[in-house]
Amino acid sequence: MDEVGLADITGFDWAGLVDSLKITGVDFGLKLLVALVIFYVGRIVARILIKGLHKMMQAQNIDKILETFVCNLAYWSIMIFVIIAAISQIGIQTTSLIAVMGAAGLAVGLALQGSLSNFAAGVLIVIFRPYRVGDWVEAAGIAGSVEQVQILTTILKTGDNKQIIVPNSQIMGSIITNYSANDTRRIDMTVGVSYGDDLDKVRATLQEIVSADERVLDEPECTIAVSALADSSVNFVVRPWVKSSDYWGVMFDLTETIKKRFDEEGISFPFPQQDVHLYNKS
């Protein structure tokens, strides 16, 4: 039975419905295609703009932390506008959508207070700059080199090459120790010798060892002094100043050199010992 006959029997214009569905389907398909094009092109444009922003900030010698944070924030801000523009092409009212998103954002914000605190902490890190990319820091119980500061987290690389991602709120809520903030650092060493050794000879030997290392700075002057008369040893403190980048190398080398020189000079390192006295009551 043809469409005309079917319409005569039922009294309904099926042909008109089919034509209307075809037109509506084609129209929606075109709108969906335009929305996809807007999203795809918008994402490409966003990446190009962020790449240009990266280059501009690098040319201005902007801090790496600030550069990464601003670029990430700018990228997602652009993508939100691109998504809204793409959705509006489909026929969804963006004004009502924005209102719904606002209400949903409030609910999500209450549910994700931790993430919002991480974001706020990230903003504080960018503003106050307690550390920079490449600094060796200790924060939230983790010690490592700062690789990247993101919107919600900070990425650290430990000395044994592990990557650790720490929430920004935990970092700002803890004590931050930045070992790279200053150009120079002081090495604090304690050297124990026996009570039978000549203290003047020990001091002179330690002074020779420290002076022989060219990495040790002349100013501030190195401190070498008797710090304690311990149970089994006389303890000297040795506190040379070095560049922050030379800290570990100098400390390891001085420790080895002190052991070798003391062996050559006949200066002894006492072992922990106790004197036990036995009394025979009989």
31-35, 44-48, 120-124, 238-242: range with highest mean pLDDT: 238-242
CATH 3.30.70.100 residue ranges in the chain? 184-265
pTM (whole model) above 0.85: no
Q: What is the mean pLDDT of residues 3-27?
A: 56
Strand arrangement, sheet containing 234-239: 189-193, 234-239, 223-229
- Of the two residues 260 and 86, the one the predictor is more confident about is 260
Share of the chain above pLDDT 70, in %: 80
pLDDT-wise least confident of 110-124, 199-213, 229-243: 110-124
Q: Which pair of tokens denotes residue 190? A: 């304690």
- The region of weakest confidence among 70-84, 104-118, 141-155, 176-190 is 104-118
- pLDDT on residue 189: 96
Confidence of residue 136 (pLDDT cuts 50, 70, 90): very high
CATH of the domain spanning 130-178: 2.30.30.60
Helix (H) or strand (E) holding 37: helix 14-59
Give the C-alpha separation, 120 to 205, whole Å.
Answer: 54
Q: What is residue 195's predicted lDDT score, i.e. its pLDDT? A: 92
Q: What is the dihedral of CA 250, 135, 183, 244, to 10 degrees?
A: 0
Q: Which residues of 172-195 are buried (b: 16+ CB within 10 A; e: fewer)?
A: beeeeebebeeeebebebebbbee
pLDDT score at 38:
85
227 phi, psi to nearest 5 deg: -105, -25
| pLDDT tier at 31, thresholds 50, 70, 90 | confident
- 100-115: average pLDDT: 61
What is the residue-wise DSSP string for 237-249? EEE-EEEGGGHHH
Mean pLDDT of 119-140: 88
CATH class of 184-265: alpha beta
- Other beta carbons within 10 Å of 139: 23
**Tens-digit pLDDT profile for residues 37-56:** 888 888 898 888 888 888 88
- 1: confidence class by pLDDT, cuts 50, 70, 90: very low
Q: To which H or E segment does residue 145 belong?
A: strand 142-149
Beta-carbon contacts of 45 under 8 Å, excluding residues fewer than 6 positions away, are 78
137 CA to centre of own chain: 9
- Averaged pLDDT, 274-281: 79
Distance CA 247, CA 242 (A): 6
User: What are φ and ψ of residue 98, in 5° steps?
Assistant: -65, -40
Q: Of 225, 221, 188, which is closest to residue 206 (Cα–Cα)? A: 225
Strand partners, 156: 146, 164
Write 110-115 long-range contacts (CB < 8 A, 24+): 114/167, 114/169, 115/152
Return residue ranges of the chain for CATH 1.10.287.1260.
3-111
Return the number of other C-beta atoms located less than 10 Å from residue 144's C-beta: 22
Instruction: Say yes or no to pLDDT of 244 above 90.
Output: yes
User: What is the pLDDT, as a whole number, of residue 26?
Assistant: 64
Give ranges for CATH 2.30.30.60 in the chain. 130-178
Nearest to 273 by CA among 230, 237, 242, 218: 230
Contact criterion met (CB below 8 Å) for 35 and 89: yes
Taking the C-alpha atoms of residue 282 and residue 269, their distance in angstroms, rounded to an integer, is 39
What pLDDT sits at residue 107?
60
Average pLDDT over residues 244-263: 95
Q: In the CATH hierarchy, which fold is given to the domain comprising 3-111?
A: Helix Hairpins (1.10.287)
Q: Residue 272: which pLDDT band, with cuts at 50, 70 and 90?
A: confident
69 pLDDT more than 60: yes
